């Protein structure tokens, strides 16, 4: 990539300034915090990028943080999603849906012999800071702390409480972010920025505009594979109907239409982008989208969307996420059991009957609590899990 040439003929779609190496900025077309990898330096100048604000993207990604966490969605810098805090229950969720106690428990008991016994029940990360705190509080020696750490037992537990999270989607900020994604993708694929100029004040938050709305068609736009969770962008221009619109779908479950222009004068076209969030790569999909101007106007007038449609789509995405976690957990159990059972045997040794029996015994020990936790959650909403 030669500098200088990169920005040839590129103008910021926010203000029209010619983009050069110095004033250009990197814009993620789908926010990076929800796994978006498609980016361009030919869309927005630095000033516009900051004026468009990270607030709107933040609001959207916050709403999707529960799925990001469960699916262990990584950002460009490799950072994994932060811990999610459920509204009730005793556990938070770490990346990959791993529960950690909200509050570690510390029990201090005065013994008859004048000694004090302190029991700590916490995750390894929490225990580390608790040990530091105790060392300060009681002025304990490093040796004593090291001894306490060495005697700590690592125990695995399965959470049987239900975890409740606030699940919302939409609202003016999130819709602005979705509109920005649609506009950026349109310009990125060579669309004329003049066609979307009127949306710039809306994205900036200077004006309200009703152009983004939920869209859950009876027949899904793309054929869904049971193991795929996609981010989808489709931008379509219809010369005959004079309409330019985008279909945006996050995590195969939250889908919206953005009406980009209802007096579109350009040629007909369709541009698509399908991103597999689990594989973190672009994929090819067949799709079927055809919305008439009448339908778009009807959707605009009737702002309501069926709660059932959203629930169904969300349950499906959650089902895929939970299955992924379940598979990872089982894989983990098998791996740990192997390590446990065969650490005393030389590597490469052929497994005999005795070894296999030992393996099965250990596997059963580890698997039983997991199975029990599964059975207790079976009757809840997501029966397949
Ligand atoms: Zn600009």
Q: How is the chain split into domains, by residue range?
A: 99-150, 168-305, 308-377
Expressed in angstroms and rounded, the spacing between residue 341 Cα and the centre of ligand 1 is: 62
What value does the mean pLDDT of the chain take?
80
Phi, psi dihedral angles at 261 (to 5 degrees): -165, 125
pLDDT of residue 347: 67
DSSP assigned state of 63: H
Mean local confidence (pLDDT), 206-221: 83
Distance 42 CA to ligand 1 centre (A): 11
Of 213 and 321, which is predicted with more confidence?
A: 213
Element housing 111 (H / E) = none
pLDDT per position as a tens digit, 54-73 = 889 988 988 888 788 878 88
* Cα–ligand 1 centroid distance for 16 (angstroms): 6
CA–CA separation, 231 vs 280, rounded Å?
A: 10
Question: How far apart are the CA of 174 and the centre of ligand 1, in A?
Answer: 21
More confident residue, 189 or 6: 189
- Nearest 10 degrees: Cα torsion 183, 271, 178, 44: -30
Cα 367 to Cα 271: distance, rounded to the nearest angstrom: 48
Q: Which residues surround ligand 1, an ion (CB under 5 A)?
A: 12, 14-15, 45, 48
Whether residue 194 contacts residue 171, with contact meaning beta carbons closer than 8 Å, is answered with: no
Q: What Rg, from alpha-carbon coordinates, does the chain have?
A: 26
Tell how far the Cα of 269 is from the centroid of ligand 1, in angstroms: 26
Q: How far is the centre of ligand 1, averaged over its atoms, from the C-alpha of 296 (Å)? A: 30
pTM (2 decimals)? 0.71
Question: 124-153, pLDDT tens digit by residue?
Answer: 778 888 888 888 888 888 888 888 888 877
Kindly tell me if the per-residue pLDDT of 8 is higher than 70.
Answer: no
For 126, 238, 283, the CA distances from 286, given in Å and listed in that order, are 47, 19, 10
More confident residue, 307 or 68: 68
Percent of the chain with pLDDT over 70: 78
Report the distance separating Cα 81 and Cα 324, nearest Å: 17
Give 23 Cα–ligand 1 centroid separation in angstroms: 9
pLDDT digit string, tens, across residues 39-54: 999 999 999 998 887 8
Between the CA of 249 and the centroid of ligand 1 the distance, in Å, is 27
Distance 10 CA to ligand 1 centre (A): 11
């Amino acid at each position: 990539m030669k500098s200088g040439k990169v920005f040839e003929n590129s103008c910021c779609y926010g203000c029209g300034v010619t983009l050069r190496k110095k004033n250009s900025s990197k814009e993620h077309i789908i926010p990076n915090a929800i796994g978006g990898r498609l980016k361009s330096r030919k869309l927005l100048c630095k000033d516009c990028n900051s004026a468009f604000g990270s607030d709107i993207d933040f609001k959207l990604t916050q709403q999707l943080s529960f799925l990001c966490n469960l699916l262990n969605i990584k950002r460009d810098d490799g950072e994994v999603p932060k811990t999610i805090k459920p509204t009730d229950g005793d556990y938070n969720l770490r990346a990959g849906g791993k529960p950690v106690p909200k509050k570690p428990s510390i029990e201090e008991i005065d013994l008859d012999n004048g000694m004090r016994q302190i029991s700590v029940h916490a995750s390894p990360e929490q225990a580390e800071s608790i040990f530091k705190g105790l060392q300060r509080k009681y002025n304990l020696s490093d040796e004593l702390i090291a001894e306490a750490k060495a005697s700590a037992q690592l125990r695995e537990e399965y959470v049987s409480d239900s975890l409740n999270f606030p699940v919302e989607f939409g609202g003016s900020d999130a819709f602005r972010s979705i509109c920005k994604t649609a506009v950026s993708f349109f310009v990125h694929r060579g669309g004329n920025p003049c066609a979307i100029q009127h949306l710039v004040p809306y994205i900036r938050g200077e004006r309200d505009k009703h152009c983004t709305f939920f869209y859950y068609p009876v027949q899904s736009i793309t054929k869904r594979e049971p193991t795929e969770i996609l981010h989808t962008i489709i931008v379509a221009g219809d010369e005959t109907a004079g309409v330019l619109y985008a279909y945006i779908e996050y995590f195969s479950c939250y889908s919206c239409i953005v009406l980009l222009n209802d007096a579109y004068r350009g040629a007909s076209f369709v541009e698509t982008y399908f991103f597999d969030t689990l594989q973190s790569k672009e994929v090819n999909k067949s799709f079927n989208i055809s919305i008439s101007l009448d339908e778009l106007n009807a959707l605009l007038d009737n702002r309501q969307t069926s709660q059932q449609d959203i629930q169904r789509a969300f349950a499906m995405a959650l089902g895929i996420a939970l299955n992924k976690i379940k598979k990872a957990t089982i894989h983990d159990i098998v791996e740990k059991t192997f390590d446990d059972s065969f650490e005393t045997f030389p590597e490469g040794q052929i497994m005999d009957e005795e070894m296999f029996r030992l393996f099965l015994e250990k596997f059963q020990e580890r698997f039983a609590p997991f199975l029990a936790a599964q059975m207790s959650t079976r009757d809840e909403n997501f029966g397949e899990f």
